[in-house]
Structure 1
């Protein structure tokens, strides 16, 4: 593609800075062709909602093959959601554990990553029993990673911080419509109720939608990518997040629309959690499965608040073509719809 295509990579950094980093990356990989910008191919990748993501190709030194890297341009205002330097440290640490792509280079508004030669999952893949079983086992592996920092729950303080940001950004009309004044009490109450009893804490991805899972078709091995929101949390929260993501199709004509008729039924959730608990070779008893199924279902409420706030804030700060405010409305609607059932009834029995 011609130099004109390089314009796709423009962000807050100059195009010259991005090309300089790509040139260094090419040199580190043993290539020397990035000096000729006409040899670069830039392919936008769809489905990202926090960043803009591109596949960038150039001929290798022998000219017979293409070198592929991934270029990530950070979205506007995303520093509200997480600390970028901390996210980079997480990225590098996960990579050191052999769990994700390598960091190849950084520039002011983004970075260059190793290109994973695997396909990104699609929404329908999450409902394939064989692929779902692979995801369950991979989640358990991810949760057992030993990462820097205190192994303590992060979700509640992060949610409170986001609520403060939402209150400062929102118009009075939106603040009233989304009931922001009542959410402090909701978060406090939910934390108290969901924190009762024993909880297993693990290193959670916290955004395990299908677009953040890649599969090598030959080996059937999975790679979990994109760790912006990763932190220690109850594993039940991460399982709930994955179940909630089954209602979304971010590659449809209406990517913001969530279809809750696609939420996995009890049998499907039970099967997933049984595989998750069995993946390290020890068969769980029914009581353990029941406990985690119930906990994950209740933690869907925390997920709805978390991503509802994310969508509302994003509608003010992110310019990606996505109806963030309508997405937020749907998540808050599900919170209020499901709260009475999940908190005021007996636990689910298998």
Structure 2
């Protein structure tokens, strides 16, 4: 896989993405016959818009064009995202980029099925996810421009600075007041999370930070998984990346948190992970128990993080999705887990 460094001075109108996608194809695939182009608009995304383009008889050579969502640069460092994809492509972990443009990029299509709430627990699939995550967490960097500090606290702090305090839409404002904790409460919870979880001493690793089901492709023929969408990839706590993935077992559109994996499943998953992460077949039960404790301690944080994210999206996104309702669901889960976990004591607690 090779990376093309070309940047195109093109801005795609998110309301007319087929026309914009054609402009990209003219530049990066000038031999493709425009009258034979086919387009597939993907509707799973909650931040960006995505379209696939190929021409008759060449569907395996599809090019994906991602158009950044409205004001999504408030949430995402786009330069870091592109840099991360290039790093991981060089390591053989993900797709290559064909070109960037003013509000998005065009990249390679990879074959595979996105996961479902059933397949993510498949015994053939989950060890592949654990393995790939461990490999990613073990990546080493000589690039001094990449911060090796855990990104989560700075990112949440930034989110909290820009979450809406009021909505101009009166119906949205009423819903906001009914469903969402006050800013003062959220600020207090952020301080509590930071002071508590910083003491867990989870290793800081190169983490994906957004391993929801739609960001993992399973290729049955090749018996591998590929992670996609590196918008939040950065150095972060190992335990956050793992537990963030576990919380996504609930699904996205109508999350069902009864699907959160139980202790037995998590420990099997973590044992597979530690074999790769520690480069040993001899993983002790104590090692598994310690990582399980760290992961469990971090369980409230993804809910808080994505709750703040959804509040920002509710103000700025043009995507048809009830982000306020989603924020309420995530904050409810946060408070539920916080009560359960912060009173829990084990041999690993101070």
Give the TM-score range, shorter chain: 0.7 to 0.9
Cα distance, 1:17 vs structure 2? 5.4
Question: 1:57 aligns to what?
Answer: 54
How do residues 106-125 of structure 1 correspond to structure 2 at under 5 angstroms? 106-125=100-119
| 8 A Cα contact 1:210 1:245, kept in partner | yes
- Decide which moves more: 217-226 or 277-286: 277-286
> Alignment partner of 1:93: what SS?
helix
1:20 and 2:23 are equivalent in the alignment: yes
Paired residues of 1:82 and 1:229 also in contact (CA < 8 A)? yes
Selected match of 1:78 from 51, 72, 75: 72
Contact 2:164 2:311 in 1 (8 A): no
- Alignment equivalent of 1:44, drawn from 24, 41, 60: 41
SS at match of 1:202: strand
User: What's 1:325 paired with?
Assistant: 324
Whether the 8 Å CA contact 1:169–1:316 is kept in 2: the answer is no
Counterpart Cα distance in 2 of 1:216 and 1:281: 26
For 1:45 and 1:16, the matched residues in 2 are separated by 16
Q: Take 1:323 and 1:194, find their aligned partners in 2: how far apart are those partners? A: 30
Instruction: String of CA shifts for 1:52-88, please: whole Å, max 9, x gaps.
Output: 11221114xxx67763111111111211112112211
| 1:312 match | 311
The TM-score with structure 2 as length reference comes to: 0.87
Return closer, same or farther for 1:178/1:65 CA change in 2, 3 Å cut-off: closer
1:271-305: CA deviation from partner (whole Å, max 9, x where unpaired): 11111001233422112111111111121211111
Q: Could you give the per-residue CA deviations for residues 211-251 of structure 1, whole angstroms, max 9, x where no partner exists?
A: 11112221111111100011111110001101100011x4x
Size of the alignment, in residue pairs? 326
Equivalent-residue separation in structure 2 for 1:104 and 1:80 (angstroms): 25
Task: Report the equivalent of 2:288.
Answer: 289
The 1:12–1:324 alpha-carbon spacing in structure 2 relative to 1, beyond 3 Å, is same
Partner of 1:230: 233
Distance verdict in 2 for CA 1:160–1:107, change over 3 Å? same
Which of 198, 213, 217 matches 1:214? 217
Partner of 1:261: 258
- Measured in 2, the distance between the counterparts of 1:324 and 1:197 equals 31
Deviation for aligned residue 1:110: 1.7
Query: 2:115, 2:216 within 8 Å by CA — same for their partners in 1?
Result: yes
List runs of 5+ in structure 1 lacking aligned partners.
1-8
Q: Is the 8 A contact 1:43 1:56 kept in 2?
A: yes
In the alignment, the residues of structure 1 paired with residue 58 and residue 225 of structure 2 have an alpha-carbon distance, to the nearest angstrom, of 28
* Cα distance between partner residues in 2 of 1:245 and 1:17: 33
Alpha-carbon deviation of 1:175? 6.2
- Counterpart of 2:298? 299
**Measured at CA, do residues 22 and 235 of structure 1 come closer, stay the same or move farther in structure 2, by a change above 3 Å?**
same
Deviation at 1:14, TM superposition (A): 8.1
SS of the aligned residue for 1:228 comes to: coil
Aligned to 2:86: 92
Deviation at 1:166, TM superposition (A): 0.5
2: CA distance, partners of 1:116 / 1:306? 29
Give unmatched runs, 5+ long, in structure 2.
1-11
CA contact (8 A) 2:47 2:69 kept: yes
